[in-house]
Amino acid sequence: MSAQAEVAEDRRQPSLRRWLDRPPVRAWRVPHGRPLVILAALFLLLVLGWAAFPAVFAGANPTAVNPLAALQPPLHRYLLGTDQYGRSVYAELVYGARPALEVGVLSTLLGGAAGSVIGILGGYLGGWADLLVMRLIDILLALPGLFLALIFIAALPPTLTNEILAIGIATVPGFARVLRGQALGVRSRLFVDAAIVTGVRRRAILWRHVLPNCLAPAIVLGTLNIGTAIVIAASLSYLGLGPSSGVLNWGALINSGQGYIDRDWWISTFPGLLVTLLVIAVSILGDRLRDAMEPSSG
């Protein structure tokens, strides 16, 4: 089938898939005025700082058990209070940043790269390759939300690396779908046909035309996905399925604090608030990136 016929054929595909295949257009844009973007960026930088140099922000020894200081409310002697072991909640948040960001960023890189490659190849090569890719995406997506990650979590020993792997795999279909759509779009555009006609090799086309156009949505999606990945990781540790070594996971903190929520509410509240703010910040930044990179959409 010619490239155009294939794309036309694809346009007639089930609308649900087409609807989902569109470049991620949000139904409503996150408020993205300049001050908010700056705020979001600063916040993310702060968390990055926590991850890189936790001791600078929160001193050493966050895990030291200090029974005398247990369950102190915030703004007394400890900024965000202490948990049932006397540990500063603030310090636990700071030290939890590194594992959280590690999982978030690495799983996104892993899954994003793999998913993008698969998606681009399918979209660009078309034919049986594309059929294969579409089927693969369908199958992976049949496991909703957490479940795809869960089966790998179940099958593998609970280490950080395995968690990254599991969440990475769960990230693959999302990227594959979007990038496939992008590659299809690029392919159908005239200038690629022109390049084929003038005899430029397929690989060169891929490199010079398809990839740059696919890079932008991949970056946008990746930014947003970091937030999602952090949430999944936190959820896994909340459920007790996270890496067994990490004592300072935000999710685990929320869980352990839940038992005290009636009186010592701060233990569960602050980690969750942090994660929520992270997701919002990442969304704002992602939307801003999208604006910057794709002036045509939105």
Partner 1 sequence: MLRVVLRRVAIGVPVVISVSAIIFFVLRVLPGNPVQVITQNAPTTPGERHDIIVEFGLDKPLLSQYLSYLGNALHGNFGLSFQTRQPVMAEIGSQAMATVELAVAAMLMTVVAGVGLGVVSALLRDTWVDTVIRVVSLLGSSMPIIWSAPMLILVFSFTLRLFPANGSGSLAQLVLPAASIALVTSGVIIRLVRTSMLEVMSQEFVTALRAKGVPEAWIWIRHILRNALVPAVTLLGVQLGGLLSGAVIAETAFGRQGLGSLLVNGIDNKDYPMVQAIVLIVATAYVAINILVDISYAYLDPRVRTQMAR
- Residues of this chain that interact with partner 1 (CB under 8 A) are 12, 14-16, 19-20, 26-28, 30-31, 135, 138-139, 142-147, 150-156, 227, 231, 234-235, 238-241, 251, 254-255, 257-258, 261-262, 265, 268-269, 271-273, 275-276, 279-280, 283
Q: If we measure between CA atoms, which residue out of 187, 217, 171, 183 comes closest to residue 24?
A: 217
CB of 194 to partner 1, least distance (A): 29
By beta-carbon proximity to partner 1, the closer residue of 160 and 192 is 160
By beta-carbon proximity to partner 1, the closer residue of 32 and 200 is 32
CB of 201 to partner 1, least distance (A): 34
By beta-carbon proximity to partner 1, the closer residue of 112 and 257 is 257
Q: How many CB atoms lie within 10 A of CB 86?
A: 16
CB of 236 to partner 1, least distance (A): 10
Q: CA separation (Å) from 206 to 114, 201, 209, 211, 213?
A: 16, 9, 6, 6, 10
By beta-carbon proximity to partner 1, the closer residue of 128 and 199 is 128
By beta-carbon proximity to partner 1, the closer residue of 206 and 248 is 248
Helices (DSSP H) in 126-249: which residue ranges?
A: 127-141, 147-155, 160-188, 190-197, 202-205, 211-238
Q: How many CB atoms lie within 10 A of CB 188?
A: 17
By beta-carbon proximity to partner 1, the closer residue of 60 and 154 is 154
CB of 249 closer than 8 Å to CB of 96: yes
By beta-carbon proximity to partner 1, the closer residue of 124 and 171 is 171
145 φ, ψ to 5°? 50, -120
CB of 244 to partner 1, least distance (A): 11
CB of 119 to partner 1, least distance (A): 18
CB of 33 to partner 1, least distance (A): 14
Q: CA separation (Å) from 253 to 1, 51, 91, 275?
A: 56, 17, 12, 12
CB of 183 closer than 8 Å to CB of 122: yes
198 φ, ψ to 5°? -80, 5
CB of 200 to partner 1, least distance (A): 34
Helix axes 266-293, 89-125, angle to 10 degrees: 30
What are 200's two structure tokens? 């430029």
